[in-house]
A and B are shown apart, each in its own frame.
Chain A
Amino acid sequence: MKNFFRKVGFGIGPNEEVPSDPLNWALNQLNEIPKLSWTGQIYSEKELRKHYGKWVYGDRKKLRKKYKDNKTLYKVEKDKLRHQTGQKFWESLEISIRHNEAINSSAPVLAKLWMFWGNFFAISEKDFLANYSTGAYHREIIRPNLNQTFEKLVYDATTSWAMIHHLDNSESAGPKSVTARDDWRKRKNQPATINENHARELLELHTVSPKAGYTQEDIIQLAYLMTGWQQKWNKSQLETGNVWFNPEYHQPGKKKVLGKEYKSGKKSLANVIKDLVNHPNCRNFVAERLCRYLITDEPTKEMKQPIIDAFKRSDGNLTEIHKAAIKVAFDYNDKFKKFQTPENWFIQVAKIGNLQWPPSPDVMGAYELGFKPTRKQRSPERLLRNMGHHPYRAKQPNGWSDHSDDWISPELLIRRLVYAKLSASFSQMENNQNGYFENIVEKNFDNPSKIMKYLNQKNRFVEKQTLLYNHPEFLRS
């Protein structure tokens, strides 16, 4: 039963009490969205985007021109600009905030679901999004919506600056729009055409999934409908301006998506999203993804049904959807043990083992803009990248896989062995006392004496840690 605390959260730390009513402990975390528990400074998405803007403007508009004949000097100046805009720092700060929420907040279950939705509406590695924006997008777009409706979450994610940039919607222009008749298009031979990327992913990844049977024509029509949603462009901020609806780029006329007609204009995006989230395939897709994340690679119909029902009953209220998913996870707790992804696993190691992780607000707060961050200040980004599971650097817009097989290979296994061993170097002084292993094993496993017997075959702290964190009962929950 104790694996439930890891299944829906990250386990029980050595200084925490084991909750006596696990299900209600979990459910009670889902009603409200508390303030983030990180006590250090948190920067707004807009502020971080300004740094992004300074970087692209400086590099593209100034340095490249100024040093076009001197590669070495260009490199030196570019590095200066990198550090002036904090390019190597923000993502590590964001990961620290994220991991702190999982480890030190009173709502780890909500944190685990926050991570799920961040990956569901993934911003994959593109341009400099991971460096400046993706963490902030997770905080400001995904997290506040965790007790709102799925419909609102889809709308906010779709119209967020990070997603619009990620999926190229600013590049999409209606062939019959006002801008299509602009003189400069003729002069520069750049006719107005649509970019299908965002429309396709809105259907495929964010709402109904390919099982809904939409056609290429549906994608084109949705892309027409989405034309005009773009970054406000000006000469100083380039592509980092706010998202707005630019009517001059919007394709006029009616559009038909999945058999339904939509009028021209700004409001049609909200209307089409309303219909997409109410499509039966969308409910099924969301239920399947949640079950796969929490319970098993191959969710059954019976597993998904209560989540689908809650979705329908509550009009897509995420608190209700989450509660249904957690209840299902509780019901199937003993029958299915999910192999944990590398990031989830490492957070569990850090929480259960009481590691000095993530770097403290003091360590991160000591960073000064304009300087190179210290090794410690960059450790979150480097560690997750090396483990092959950096939350802001998925390879593709479908995010990281939740299938177990995708996380097993000799190299991925080597990462677990190596980081279980290295975790000893993150250990706190207070852990170096008798009873440390007994305490954490007792709190997190149903068969503590068996696990302890296994660990006690080795004497050294580092070896015990390596054994514990690679034990099948630790790897699965």
Chain B
Amino acid sequence: MKISRRDFLKTTALTSLYFAGFGMQSYANSGTKKNLVVIMLRGGMDGLCAIPIKDDKNFEKLRSKINLDRTLQLTSDFDLHPALKTFKNLWDQNQSAAVHATNIPYTGRSHFDGQNLMESGGKIPYQEKTGWLGRGMKIAGLTGNGLALALPMPLLIRGVPMNNNYFPAGHKLPYPSTLEMIQKVYKEYDEKLLSENLEIILTRDLSNTSSDESWVLATNAANELSKPDGPRVAVFEVDGFDTHAAQGATNGAHADCLSDYDNIVRSLKSSMTKEAFDNTLILTLTEFGRTIKQNSSNGTEHGYGSAVLMAGGLVKKAQVHADWPGLKKKELFEGRDLNSTIDARSIYASAMSTVFELDFKKIKNEVFWGENLQNLSDKLFKV
């Protein structure tokens, strides 16, 4: 382990001084269509499995059964899980990066509360009925610009009207004249949400008879995101990160999930136009990381700190950004989990500020209730 907390803080202090005078900068629309893609990793993504720390004897000992026997090279401090091949290719082109030892400020370790909060962006489970991304889109005026590649509409993207989702049923719709009659009766009964959703179905250009495999979904999303008048936000879901048992190492349950993520990024990269990919940011989101120590079933328990993976042309440079808290017992959260030293919401707020071209403070105040979030835009993204 070569970076120390002090080194990090030194650079941070300098940068914040340097930017102190530029707080109220205006964000004129650049005229380029920029896209934000969020891939939700449900179940608790193990940041230390995706991006393990190097040369930490204690870590290796605690994970003797699930250590990676083969890794891809990232930095002098961190390795990469071999399942993340596309991520590595993008890394070599300065188009992927990660923030480590970060998470939403939730320490309760329940999936349901945690996933609710990672999507709502709040602190009290089930209190908010909208998601941080939906609220951000709303203040950016991005009505009708969201696309979820999922069957239900994720909470994350709720809060702005007219979002679309795509998960083909494999069957053809009834005749348009029948649909129009249904639309009429929805309006008569004041069924706003149903009516709004039917309007999207009637006007969109997506095949209902295609397949729902994730690479097909990603390819469709890539096409839509590349259209000048297409959606500007897309949301994916990958399940299965909750590996209490048989987590595996280089291969295994967690590796398969990471590979699901990597395949989505690969399809996006290969099917988007170059211009679109260059103006896109792809971020991951999870409810918590996992315990440092393996359990007796060679799995890991619910933890706290994890990592956020970032890809796309709007990534500033290949880097693992971290205020590394250390893995000694006293450095761990409650003596068992990687600590979170960066509120992951700072990353998401900064990403929305960059992609939606909105003042960071506006997002902080109107999306995250003015909570104490850092503007990381200039460190992580191409502003």
Contact = CB atoms under 8 A, between A and B. Distances in A.
| A joins B in a complex | yes
Interface stretch (A94-102, A148-156, A187-195, A273-281): A187-195
B123 to A, nearest CB: 13
A200 B167 CA distance: 33
B231 interface: no
Given A195-B295, A411-B151, A472-B191, A457 B169 contact: no
B201 interface: yes
Contact of A388 (B151, B164, B179): B151
B149 to A, nearest CB: 10
Contact of B165 (A192, A195, A409, A457): A409
Contacts of A395: 42, 239
Interface in A172-197: 173, 185, 189-193, 195-197
Contact of B175 (A216, A398, A463): A463
A402 interface: no
Contacts of B200: 410
Interface stretch (A23-31, A78-86, A305-313, A413-421): A413-421
Contact of A414 (B112, B153, B201, B293): B201
Given A410-B204, A413-B194, A168 B244 contact: yes
A471 B169 contact: no
B25 interface: no
Contact of B152 (A173, A205, A412, A473): A412
Contacts of B168: 411
A100 B104 CA distance: 45
What bracket does the count of chain B residues touching chain A fall in?
35 or more
Nearest to A171: B297
A191 B253 CA distance: 22
A472 B189 contact: yes
B215 interface: no
B94 interface: no
Interface on chain B toward A: helix, strand, loop, or mixed SS?
Answer: loop
Interface in A442-459: 454, 457-458
B182 interface: yes
A348 interface: no
A303 interface: no
A396 B112 contact: yes
B297 A195 contact: yes
Interface string A55-82: 0000000000000000000000000000
Nearest to B334: A216
A421 to B, nearest CB: 5
Interface string A238-272: 00000000000000000000000000000000000
Given A171-B245, A472-B186, A409 B148 contact: yes
Contact of B158 (A386, A405, A422): A405
Contacts of B179: 417
A399 B182 CA distance: 31
Interface of B: 42, 64-65, 108-113, 125, 129, 148, 150-153, 158, 163-175, 178-179, 181-182, 185-186, 189, 191, 193-194, 197-198, 200-201, 204, 208, 239, 244-245, 293, 295-299, 301-302, 334
Closest 3 CB pairs of A and B: A409-B153, A472-B189, A171-B297
23 contacts: A171-B245, A171-B297, A185-B296, A191-B296, A197-B244, A210-B108, A216-B109, A388-B167, A405-B158, A407-B152, A408-B197, A409-B163, A410-B201, A411-B151, A413-B194, A413-B197, A414-B208, A417-B173, A418-B169, A420-B174, A454-B185, A458-B178, A471-B185
